[in-house]
């Protein structure tokens, strides 16, 4: 049986629903040594800023029960170095190129979007949710007015598809998703990491030098699923689900809950070839259920009344 894994999300047609999440896959160079990246739906670049960043001081990663905390702090080469050295590589991988940009102000996002608008990329992912920097990102994404201002300003300077990556660290994720959709986003990405902390009781210190970090991995999957399902009931634009996806069953859970595509993050750090196994297992699972197109599963969850 031929299984069609192709999906469309946020103005981008992809051969697979599997996107590699920003910050867990670099620009794809390291993973290119392990398998043919063309099997992927796309790669979301490391979060980029206007100027290069070294990120936060170490320690900046810590293992936790069923997950991990990170406070990398957007270490990246800057938008200009990316365009010169990394984008050419990403464009020849055979999958879609999604560029993640993170700003401290509206002007930052606009400046980077202007640089990207004439480049051969497939979508711009607005990082409105990184919890590991002291200004911008999550602070913008936690305020529907600021979120609206950023998306509208970026929409005014580019016709590229815009994906808004939202933070779960808010009272109402639906309010933020509706604001993003109304402002002109082509898709919302749910969810980025949850704010957390790990401590060493012997030293009486947080393990991370930044004190707090973003929790990812299987521990956050139930929260992410709930938010995807909630937002699916409220917006008409596609949702890209992310949060604790380790296996094919996780992918299908997110799609049934309302996601048109998904992003794989922490799983890449556990197993560099996670996407290869997930792709194989998706075909096996769909075949057993006599399902020929994975896209037909999106939004089929039947909530109890």
User: What CATH code is carried by the domain that includes residue 225?
Assistant: 3.20.20.70
Is residue 269 a part of any domain in this protein?
yes
Question: How many whole angstroms separate alpha carbon 48 and alpha carbon 68?
Answer: 22
Distances (CA, A) of 251 to 12, 17, 195, 227: 18, 8, 23, 15
Is residue 203 a part of any domain in this protein?
no
Is residue 31 a part of any domain in this protein?
yes
Task: Please check whether residue 304 is in contact with residue 15, taking contact to mean a CB–CB distance below 8 angstroms.
Answer: no
- The whole-number pLDDT of residue 266 equals 96
Q: Is 137 helix (H, G, I), strand (E, B) or coil?
A: coil
* b/e burial code for range 206-245 (CB count within 10 A of at least 16 → b): bbbebeebbbbbbbbbebbbbbbbbbbeebebbbbbbbbb
**What is the rounded end-to-end Cα distance, in angstroms, of the chain?**
36
Number of helical H runs and strand E runs in the chain: 10, 16
Is residue 125 a part of any domain in this protein?
yes
- β-partners of residue 239 are 188
Domain count, the chain: 1
| 130 tagged catalytic | yes
Is residue 30 a part of any domain in this protein?
yes
Cβ neighbours around 159 below 10 Å, total: 8
In the chain, where do the E strands start and end? 7-9, 12-14, 18-20, 42-44, 61-64, 67-70, 96-102, 123-127, 162-165, 187-190, 194-196, 199-200, 205-206, 213-216, 239-242, 261-264
Residues spanned by the domain of 13: 7-56+66-197+214-297
Is residue 143 a part of any domain in this protein?
yes
Of 130, 137, 247, 273, the active-site residue reads 130
Is residue 14 a part of any domain in this protein?
yes
Is residue 207 a part of any domain in this protein?
no
Nearest one of 10, 17, 6, 13 to 261, comparing CA atoms = 17
pTM, rounded to two decimals: 0.96
User: Which residues does 60 contact at the CB level (< 8 Å), separation at least 6?
Assistant: 70, 71, 72, 73, 208, 209, 210, 213
Question: How many whole angstroms separate alpha carbon 222 and alpha carbon 30?
Answer: 30
- The whole-number pLDDT of residue 43 equals 98
Residuewise pLDDT in 10s, the chain (305 residues): 899 999 999 999 999 999 999 999 999 999 999 999 999 999 999 999 999 999 999 999 999 999 999 999 999 999 999 999 999 999 999 999 999 999 999 999 999 999 999 999 999 999 997 766 666 666 777 899 999 999 999 999 999 999 999 999 999 999 999 999 999 999 999 999 999 999 999 999 999 999 999 999 999 999 999 999 999 999 999 999 999 999 999 999 999 999 999 999 999 999 999 999 999 999 999 999 999 999 999 999 999 99
User: Which residues does 79 contact at the CB level (< 8 Å), separation at least 6?
Assistant: 48, 49, 50, 101, 111, 112, 115, 116
């Amino acid at each position: 049986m031929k299984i069609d894994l192709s999906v469309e999300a946020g103005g981008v047609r992809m051969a697979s629903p599997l996107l590699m999440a920003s910050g867990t896959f670099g620009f794809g160079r390291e993973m290119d040594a392990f398998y043919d990246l063309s099997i992927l739906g796309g790669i979301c670049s490391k979060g980029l800023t206007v100027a290069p960043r070294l990120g936060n001081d170490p320690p900046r990663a810590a293992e936790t029960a069923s997950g991990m905390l990170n406070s990398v702090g957007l270490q990246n080469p800057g938008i200009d170095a990316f365009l010169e050295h990394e984008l050419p590589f990403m464009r020849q991988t055979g999958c879609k190129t999604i560029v993640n940009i993170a700003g401290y102000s509206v002007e930052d996002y606009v400046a980077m979007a202007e640089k990207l608008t004439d480049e051969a990329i497939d979508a711009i992912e607005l990082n409105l949710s990184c919890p590991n920097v002291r200004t911008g990102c999550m602070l913008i994404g936690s305020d529907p007015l600021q979120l609206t201002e950023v998306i509208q300003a970026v929409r005014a300077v580019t016709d590229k598809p815009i994906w808004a990556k939202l933070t779960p660290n808010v009272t109402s994720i639906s309010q933020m998703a509706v604001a993003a959709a109304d402002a002109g986003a082509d898709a919302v990405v749910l969810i980025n990491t949850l704010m957390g902390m790990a401590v060493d009781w012997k030293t009486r210190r947080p393990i991370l030098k930044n004190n707090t970090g973003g929790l990812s991995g299987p521990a956050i999957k139930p929260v992410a699923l709930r938010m995807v399902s909630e937002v699916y009931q409220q917006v008409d634009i596609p949702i890209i689900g992310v949060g604790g996806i380790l296996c094919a069953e996780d992918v299908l859970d997110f799609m049934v809950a309302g996601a048109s595509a998904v992003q794989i993050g922490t799983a890449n750090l556990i197993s560099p070839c996670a996407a290869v196994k997930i792709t194989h297992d998706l075909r096996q699972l769909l075949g057993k259920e006599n399902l020929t197109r994975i896209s037909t599963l999106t939004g089929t969850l039947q909530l109890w009344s």
